[in-house]
A and B are shown apart, each in its own frame.
Chain A
């Protein structure tokens, strides 16, 4: 029996993963795993209880255990609890394809790619390929009437080339490609992929002679992958409503100018411009229909991403951003497909107009802060001198205040690209994607 203002949620969650690692044609890892779990979450009087167990556990037992945990916390005293919004979703959402795991086809394709790279780039120290596939199937029931199945399926290939620099020290670069669906759908035979691999090798050769970055603040042109991570780290995390409740400075900036009016930032739920995005979320793990969250519109901070609870606390509608990585994980406010909308300039123009700066191309990770100070690692870039590309630069770190960096945006190109090759790591892993065009602004760079 539900108690007053209570909420209950049950999630059956199957996660199948496949991972193949090949170095110079030798398979170092070829493994498949399946996890199937069941999670019950209960909110009574503002206190949450949760119980998770393998997928054959009895649902009623788990629910009762979760209720017991919530009541245990009740001994700490009553807690003000705003009723949760009662949004609900019905139906099946997402790809229904089966995971194409552990297939010889994938191994053959990776062997073929290795052979082609070995033939084209014989001087590499090593070539590492890592193929990873995740497939989530979640069945979500809530006391607000949600009864939904959500399927999310992503595959990624990472190609890492290594060689030595002028001083005989190891250097490496990685290219990544992602698809919705199984590993077998990766376009390894396409001409576009071949040209990306060739470009990667070209950058690696340039990096052999790379120079340290001059430390300090510089004009930079961010390539689309960097703009994507800027969107995610710089203003995406500070616009997660749990971060706002936790004191992120965005909490006092709603309705204020936080970026150049060339910047519009959206967390896309499932479609953009009529196309399904790389990580389509139609219903979140609290059974809430997912909608786009417009975070910044023409430079003005418009809103945040919400779970049921943060939406209730802030008096806003939920956006469908509550997501859980594994069966035992509680849904947290997470991004889905974070996008800075493209502008009208050509990327080359943004470079041509720089007298002294850097073109930053690739990144390996990033981090956000409550202060809106963000950082991300840069693994590939070039100097810009008098509008022309110069020497490659060594690995560096970008940092800055998101507000300052986004206010200093002085050009947004029309070359939108989407990327989804890693995981966001806020307490739990999460599959996300980022989209953005080339963009020019000022940031701090670490160096000599």
Chain B
């Protein structure tokens, strides 16, 4: 059976659902999907490889007498699906009983978004323009590795409880890791990238903050440490979007299943309360480029306010997590988040900082459950008396994320959209430097 088109996918999902139910399962769900990507690889400032990848997969879920199992298989032939359904039944028989399991019910949607067709010539042209721009404008910066791609994912999710969700999501993406070099001097690696619905209207390097990140690397060839400036050990921080994202991801982790079920969330009982500065508003945007607006457990995802002016609006348990905890179910996609913009440009925010750091990127260990973090500021800059005063190296940034989010003074008017995140620059305080 050809899974390449929407009709083939629908037939495979439908046939698979029948096979799973025929085993004796009380509830079942099948998600069949195909992917096609066209990838242009850049290595050492040159286009090095053009590749295409086709993938396919079916996920089978079955529940019987509170016992649940899941199997993913690449082989969508009739014989393979029959075999997978049989293996699913055997796996469920040895699973422990948990009455909280159920499959999605009554979810119906058809989603089509983004460019569905790849144009390799367009990818080559955009990448060539980007490399030409880099050679002319950031000549000391070397792109170690980069990629310009088109991806198309088609999926069909059917459940025994009447869910039918069909998606075709296309996206263009670009990204790179790079550093500056001049004689014996070398900057830290910088990185930028993201997903978009089109590369029309502005050059590729103006997407996802690629140009700014490459310029930051070029300005970071002769850094000095924070300690060498003789400044106090505590100061303000202006977090560029790439540096803010991991801190906000820690916050999201606090609101989802793992932290809720292990009772290690700081915010488990804080819905309706102020958990961050009134400047911070965080929303889920499943319509973002590249985001498939369906949760991992087969629920349609709608835009959602998570934090409104610092006040926690909701936790984000899955359907199963909701039943285990008694909290309201809030389906979310695998990515697609936005922080509301402020009202002034980030350079004006910078002018208000007496001493601090403009952090382009944080290299750090995974933040602790309690929010403690420390990391190395990469391709970042000292701010003194309201202006950028040289590149920083060997500078550690430490604090507690919950406290940093509570100390946000302001957000910038500009926001950077990478698909995964739509983020402004964030000005906060009480960060430790060493």
Whether B48 contacts A33 by the Cβ 8 Å rule is no
Name the segment of A46-54, A87-95, A177-185, A272-280 touching the other chain. A46-54
Chain A contacts with B in 65-79, Cβ cutoff 8 A: 65-66, 69-70, 72-73, 75-76, 79
Whether A73 contacts B188 by the Cβ 8 Å rule is no
User: Do A246 and B396 contact each other (CB < 8 Å), given the known contacts A52-B54, A72-B120, A215-B233?
Assistant: no
> What is the minimal beta-carbon distance from B54 to any residue of chain A, in angstroms?
4
Bound CA span A41–B320, Å: 43
Bound CA span A225–B257, Å: 29
Whether B96 contacts A446 by the Cβ 8 Å rule is no
Bound CA span A52–B148, Å: 17
Chain B contacts with A in 16-63, Cβ cutoff 8 A: 41, 43-44, 46-57
Q: Looking at the complex, which one of B56, B72, B369 makes contact with A172 (CB distance below 8 Å)?
A: B369
> What is the minimal beta-carbon distance from B376 to any residue of chain A, in angstroms?
5
Question: What is the interface size of chain A, counting residues whose CB is below 8 A from a CB of the partner?
Answer: 87
Chain B contacts with A in 404-434, Cβ cutoff 8 A: 432, 434
Whether B91 contacts A165 by the Cβ 8 Å rule is no
Closest to A160 in B: B262
Residues on the B chain within 8 Å of A395, using CB:
365, 367-368, 372-374
Residues on the B chain within 8 Å of A370, using CB:
144, 179, 186-189
Say if the beta carbon of A5 comes within 8 Å of chain B: no
Whether B376 contacts A31 by the Cβ 8 Å rule is no
Whether B49 contacts A47 by the Cβ 8 Å rule is yes
Closest to A104 in B: B94
Residues on the B chain within 8 Å of A82, using CB:
none
User: Do A215 and B120 contact each other (CB < 8 Å), given the known contacts A165-B370, A328-B55?
Assistant: no
Whether B68 contacts A446 by the Cβ 8 Å rule is no
Q: Looking at the complex, which one of B52, B72, B369 makes contact with A52 (CB distance below 8 Å)?
A: B52
Whether A69 contacts B434 by the Cβ 8 Å rule is no
Whether A162 contacts B262 by the Cβ 8 Å rule is yes
Whether B144 contacts A162 by the Cβ 8 Å rule is no
Q: Looking at the complex, which one of A23, A76, A171 makes contact with B370 (CB distance below 8 Å)?
A: A171
Bound CA span A306–B297, Å: 42
Whether B74 contacts A23 by the Cβ 8 Å rule is no
Q: Looking at the complex, which one of B55, B56, B261 makes contact with A28 (CB distance below 8 Å)?
A: B261
Whether A373 contacts B394 by the Cβ 8 Å rule is yes
Residues on the B chain within 8 Å of A399, using CB:
363, 376, 394, 396
Bound CA span A165–B264, Å: 11
Closest to B100 in A: A26
User: Do A51 and B394 contact each other (CB < 8 Å), given the known contacts A33-B72, A375-B363?
Assistant: no
Whether B73 contacts A34 by the Cβ 8 Å rule is yes
Chain B contacts with A in 393-407, Cβ cutoff 8 A: 393-394, 396-398
Say if the beta carbon of A245 comes within 8 Å of chain B: yes
Whether A73 contacts B187 by the Cβ 8 Å rule is no
Whether A444 contacts B394 by the Cβ 8 Å rule is yes
User: Do A375 and B52 contact each other (CB < 8 Å), given the known contacts A54-B74, A56-B75, A170-B264?
Assistant: no
Whether A69 contacts B369 by the Cβ 8 Å rule is no
Bound CA span A287–B244, Å: 42
Q: Looking at the complex, which one of A23, A65, A107, A369 makes contact with B261 (CB distance below 8 Å)?
A: A23
Say if the beta carbon of A348 comes within 8 Å of chain B: no
Whether B262 contacts A128 by the Cβ 8 Å rule is yes
Chain B contacts with A in 48-107, Cβ cutoff 8 A: 48-57, 68-75, 77, 87, 90-91, 94-96, 98
Q: Looking at the complex, which one of A160, A215, A245, A377 makes contact with B432 (CB distance below 8 Å)?
A: A215
Chain A contacts with B in 1-59, Cβ cutoff 8 A: 23, 25-37, 47-57
Bound CA span A215–B96, Å: 47
Closest to A215 in B: B434
Bound CA span A377–B227, Å: 21
Residues on the A chain within 8 Å of B324, using CB:
26
**Would you give 11 A-B contacts (Cβ < 8 Å), ordered by A?**
A26-B96, A34-B73, A47-B48, A49-B51, A51-B52, A69-B50, A246-B145, A373-B393, A378-B365, A446-B398, A447-B374
For the A-B complex with A32-B87, A447-B434 known, give 19 more contacts whose Cβ atoms are closer than 8 Å. A25-B96, A32-B91, A49-B50, A52-B51, A54-B55, A56-B75, A69-B51, A73-B50, A73-B124, A165-B370, A170-B370, A171-B368, A245-B44, A364-B366, A365-B365, A377-B366, A401-B394, A448-B398, A448-B432
What are the nearest 8 A-B pairs in CB distance? A377-B365, A446-B374, A215-B434, A104-B94, A33-B72, A50-B51, A48-B49, A170-B264
